[in-house]
Structure 1
Amino acid sequence: MTVLSTAPVAAAAHRYSSDEWTVRCELAALYRLVAHFRMTDLIDTHITARVPGPEHHFLINRYGVLFHEMRASDLVKIDGSGRVVEPDADDSATHDARHRVNAAGFTIHSAVHMARPDLHFVVHTHTSAGSAVSAQKQGLLPISQHALKFYGNLSYHDYEGIALDLGERERLIADLGANNAMILRNHGLLAGGATVAAAFQEIYFLERACQIQVHALAGGAELTLPPEDVCRLTASQFRGEAADDITQLAWESALRLIDDGLSDYRS
């Protein structure tokens, strides 16, 4: 697990275990980095994290808080049924402004967290490039090194409307399978990771691959696709022995973009 400075800079820190507070700080940092790289959609889309422990709880953003202002204490803890389980929550907590969460976000993320316990962090976005590629019949093309990271390891899920039907969860996880990234057709992107660093790299590379594809297609020139063996080789290189170290190094470097001594995401 990534180690951030988790000194209790706010009284809220004392309400949670040290392990949970660490995850809260990591998740808040991930929200702010997603905002930094302009992958937000006002108050919509979500990033979630599994809370350490046997209760199968996870954290999701309080609805109405913009990603660039997210703090560890803004995150809401819910169970697999979407019930708020914060220490100060009551039966009406889901309608309380302090604990309000988005139902569609719960549907998508709870499906992944319940079916894939290896994905501790899950990111969903509605970016222009990601949504554009999700609407293209051929999906993500193997035309860039960023895209080849996902060659043979990218899933697709057909659009079924706003994700309010809990029945969609079974179809979504069946489509995701063993992959860590998926394009939600006519909708957006979904990516997860065992660590916050891994989840960040998955969504960053997938988003960049979509941006590159949109620009390449807009140019109107004939595209060059690498041979099949090169595509498979490149995908395997992204999973090489040094992959985890590079992923962690990238995360620690990215944190400096939001941690200028004035940041309050750990509060």
Structure 2
Amino acid sequence: MFELPKLQLKDKVSKDEWQLRVDLAACYRLVEHMGWGDLIYTHISARLPGADDYLVNAFGLGFDEITASNLVKVDLQGNILDDTPFEINPAGFTIHSAIHEVRNDAHCVIHLHTDETIAVATLKQGLLPLSQYSMFSLSSLSYHGYEGLAVNADEKKRLQDDLGNTNHMLLVNHGGLTIGACVGDAFMRMYDLQRACQIQLLIQATGQSAIEVPQSIIDQISNHAQVVHSGSSGGQISWPAMLRKAYKLDPSFIE
């Protein structure tokens, strides 16, 4: 059985970098636990404090194998910056680099291929106002059309333009994406987007007419969404509980 190289960077990086590595590794483990993973594919990236460099998963590792030490440090071009035996998937980093390049507030970017986000992204009507979860996503949601595998550098500008200043994106035929000022914010937004898509598909599967939330209520919730689900009252408040869950599931992510 192939054994992964054991790395230990805790005493070789700054305290802030180590904490970010722990948060990001926990996020990967939680995504796998929630059933949102896709074998060794999809990515979650995070910007290092006070730098233009980023952490991303090593290509070839399952999300349940990600640790704080085996995350790979790269620049915006995907060049590996630290001493590591691991590589990254440059094509997979295209989407993340495009967003980090233009959104200074995008300290964490989560891009996943869940069944539910792919399905709703591919519906002509997209995400509908059918649940409270959808309210949080609809308050800051954009779409990006499918152009094939994300390996074309020309697509980056179109992706950036489509994202604009939104924090949630549905990639048609492809999946979902969220960004945040920290790992917790991005995770919370992905949780909401995923739940909104799940509930919509359940409702639509009944074949019955659904009651949509009136636009006046959507607007009201949109005005409060940023306060409720980001900053000190959102992702940053829920993230410590998520970290505790990750520790309970398997504390090896902190290695």
TM-score (norm 1): 0.88
Report the counterpart of residue 213 of structure 1 in structure 2.
200
Report the counterpart of residue 40 of structure 2 in structure 1.
43
Aligned-partner residue type, residue 193 of structure 2: L
Give the drift of 1:243: 5.0
Structure 2 stretches lacking a partner, 5+ long: 1-6
How many residues align? The count is 248
4+ runs of 1 displaced by more than 4 Å?
none
Contact 2:188 2:229 in 1 (8 A): no
Distance in 2 (CA, whole Å) between partners of 1:227 and 1:260 is 41
CA distances 1:110-154 after superposition (whole Å, capped 9, x unpaired): 001111011100000000101111111111001100001122410
Structure 1 stretches lacking a partner, 5+ long: 1-9, 90-97
1:59 paired residue among 55, 59, 63? 55
2:248 paired residue among 257, 260, 263? 260
Report the counterpart of residue 218 of structure 2 in structure 1.
231
Contact 1:151 1:232 in 2 (8 A): no
Q: 1:1-267 maps to which residues of 2 (within 5 A)?
A: 11-54=8-51, 56-86=52-82, 88=83, 98-240=85-227, 243-244=230-231, 245-260=233-248, 263-267=251-255
**Matched residue of 2:157: which SS?**
helix
Residues 173 and 164 of structure 1, relative CA distance in 2, 3 Å threshold: same
Residues 154 and 217 of structure 1, relative CA distance in 2, 3 Å threshold: same
Distance in 1 (CA, whole Å) between partners of 2:65 and 2:203 is 33
Distance in 1 (CA, whole Å) between partners of 2:198 and 2:249 is 32
Contact 1:49 1:59 in 2 (8 A): yes
Report the counterpart of residue 4 of structure 2 in structure 1.
none
Distance in 2 (CA, whole Å) between partners of 1:67 and 1:242 is 25
CA distances 1:27-78 after superposition (whole Å, capped 9, x unpaired): 0011111111111010000000001233x11111001111122101111111
Identical-residue share of aligned pairs (%): 42
